[in-house]
Amino acid sequence: MKLLVIGGGITGLAAAWEAVRSTEHGPVEVVVAEASDRWGGKLRTEHTDGLLIEHGPDSFVAYRPAALTLIDELGLADQVISVSGTRTVFLRSRGRLHPLPAGMGMVLPTRLWPFVTTGILSWADKLRAGIDLLLPRQLQDDTDVTIGAFLRARLGNGIVQRFADPMIGGIYGASVNELSLDAVLPSLRTDELAHRSLMLASLAAGRKARTSGTRGANSPFRTLRGGLGSMIDALVTQLTAAGAELRLNSAVAALSPTAGATEVRFVDGATETFDAVIFAAGARASAALLADSAPAAAAALSDIPLATSTVLALAYPATAFATPVTTHGWLEADPAPISGITVSSAKWAGRAPDDVVLIRAFVPGRLGPIADADDDELVAAVSAHVGEVLGATTPPTQVRVARWPHVMPKYTVGHRDRVAAVETALAALPQWRVAGSPLRGVGVPDCVADGRRQAALALAAACDLADHRGADNRVFNQGSRQ
Ligand SMILES: Cc1cc2nc3c(=O)[nH]c(=O)nc-3n(C[C@H](O)[C@H](O)[C@H](O)COP(=O)(O)OP(=O)(O)OC[C@H]3O[C@@H](n4cnc5c(N)ncnc54)[C@H](O)[C@@H]3O)c2cc1C
Pairing of the two strands 398-409 and 306-317: antiparallel
Q: What is the pLDDT of residue 197?
A: 96
Q: Take atom 5 of ligand 1 and give the residue whose Cα is closest.
A: 57
If one counts the domains in the chain, the total is 3
Nearest CA to ligand 1 atom 27: 9
Q: How many helices (H) and strands (E) does the chain have?
A: 19, 20
pTM of the model: 0.94
* Same domain (yes/no): 324, 291: no
Are 392 and 440 found together in one domain?
A: no
Residue 85 falls inside a structural domain: no
- Among 409, 429, 463, identify where a domain stops: 409
Buried b (16+ CB within 10 A) or exposed e, 4-29: bbbbbbbbbbbbbbbbbebeebeebe
Q: Tell me how far the alpha carbon of residue 428 lies from the centroid of ligand 1, in angstroms.
A: 27
356 and 396 Cβ atoms separated by less than 8 Å: no
201, 209 contact by CB (below 8 A): no
Report which protein residue has its CA nearest ligand 1's atom 12. 443
Separation of 407 CA from ligand 1 center, angstroms?
8
Return the best residue to mutate from 235, 247, 444 for the ligand 1 pocket (most ligand atoms within 8 A of CB): 444
CA distance 121 to 130: 12
Pair 112, 206 in one domain: yes
Q: Do residues 384 and 419 share a domain? A: no
In a domain, 281, yes or no: yes
> Which residue, by CA, sits nearest to atom 33 of ligand 1?
7
Q: Is residue 219 part of a domain?
A: no
CA 404 / ligand 1 centre spacing (Å): 10
Q: What is the pLDDT along the chain (482 residues), one digit of tens a residue?
A: 999 999 999 999 999 999 999 988 788 999 999 999 999 999 999 999 999 999 999 999 999 999 999 999 999 999 999 999 876 789 999 889 999 898 888 889 999 999 999 999 999 999 999 999 999 999 999 999 999 999 999 999 999 999 999 999 888 889 999 999 999 999 999 999 999 999 999 999 989 888 876 655 578 899 999 999 999 999 999 999 999 999 999 999 999 998 779 999 999 999 999 999 999 999 999 999 999 999 999 999 999 999 999 999 999 999 999 999 989 999 999 999 999 999 999 999 999 999 999 999 999 999 989 999 999 999 999 999 999 999 999 999 999 999 999 999 999 999 999 999 999 999 999 999 999 999 999 999 999 999 999 999 999 999 988 887 766 555 545 554 44
* pLDDT > 90 fraction of the chain, expressed in percent and rounded: 85
The answer on 262 and 143 residing in a single domain is no
Within a domain: residue 477?
no
Q: Which atom of ligand 1 is nearest to the CA of 310?
A: 1
Give the CA-trace dihedral at 285, 287, 288, 291, to 10 degrees. 160
Residue 403 pairs in a beta bridge with 310
Express each pLDDT in 73-121 by its tens digit: 999 999 999 999 876 789 999 889 999 898 888 889 999 999 999 999 9
- Among 42, 250, 434, the mutation site with the greatest number of ligand 1 atoms within 8 A of its Cβ is 42
For position 13, what pLDDT does the model report? Answer: 98
Q: List helix spans (H) across 91-219.
A: 112-117, 123-130, 147-155, 157-159, 165-172, 181-184, 186-195, 198-212
On whether residue 61 sits in a domain, the answer given is no
User: Cα of 11 to ligand 1 centre, how many Å?
Assistant: 8
Residue 86 falls inside a structural domain: no
**Count of alpha carbons within 13 Å of 276, Cβ hemisphere only?**
29
Residue 71 forms part of a structural domain: no
Q: CATH number for the domain including 378?
A: 3.90.660.20
- Ligand 1: residues whose CB is within 6 Å? 6-12, 33-36, 41-43, 56-60, 251-252, 280-282, 285, 309, 311, 404, 407-408, 436-437, 442-444, 447
The letter for the amino acid at 75 is G
Environment class of 471 (CB within 10 Å of its CB; exposed 0-12, middle 13-18, buried 19+): exposed
Distance CA 49, CA 351 (A): 11
Contacts of 41 by beta carbon, 8 Å cutoff, 6+ apart? 7, 8, 9, 10, 11, 12, 56, 282
d(CA 101, ligand 1 centre) in Å: 32
**Domain-located, residue 82:** no
Note whether 301 and 416 are same-domain residues.
yes
Supply the residue whose CA is at minimum distance from atom 7 of ligand 1. 57
Same domain (yes/no): 317, 381: yes
Q: What distance in Å separates the CA atoms of residue 7 and residue 2, rounded to the nearest whole number? A: 16
* Pair 300, 314 in one domain: no
Are residue 159 and residue 256 in the same domain, yes or no? no
Residue nearest (by alpha carbon) to ligand 1 atom 49 = 41
Range of the domain at 179: 102-212
Question: Which runs of consecutive H residues, i.e. helices, occur in 4-133?
Answer: 10-21, 66-73, 112-117, 123-130
Cβ contacts of 88 within 8 Å, gap of 6 or more: 99, 326, 327, 328
For the CA of 14, the nearest atom of ligand 1: 25
111 lies in the same domain as 177: yes
Residue 457 CB contacts under 8 Å (≥ 6 apart), including other chains: 430, 433
Q: If you take atom 1 of ligand 1, which residue's CA is the nearest one?
A: 56
CA of 285 to the centre of ligand 1 (A): 12
Please state, in angstroms and rounded to a whole number, the distance separating the CA atoms of residues 306 and 403: 14
Smallest Cα–Cα separation from 6: which of 292, 246, 256, 278? 278
Residues 208 and 157 in one domain: yes
CATH for 448: 3.50.50.60
Give the position, in ligand 1's atom list, of the atom nearest the Cα of 253.
41
- Listing DSSP states for 395-444 in one string gives --SEEEEEEEEEEEE--BTTHHHHHHHHHHHTTT-TTEEE-SHHHH--SH
461, 429: one domain: yes
Question: What amino acid occupies position 347?
Answer: K
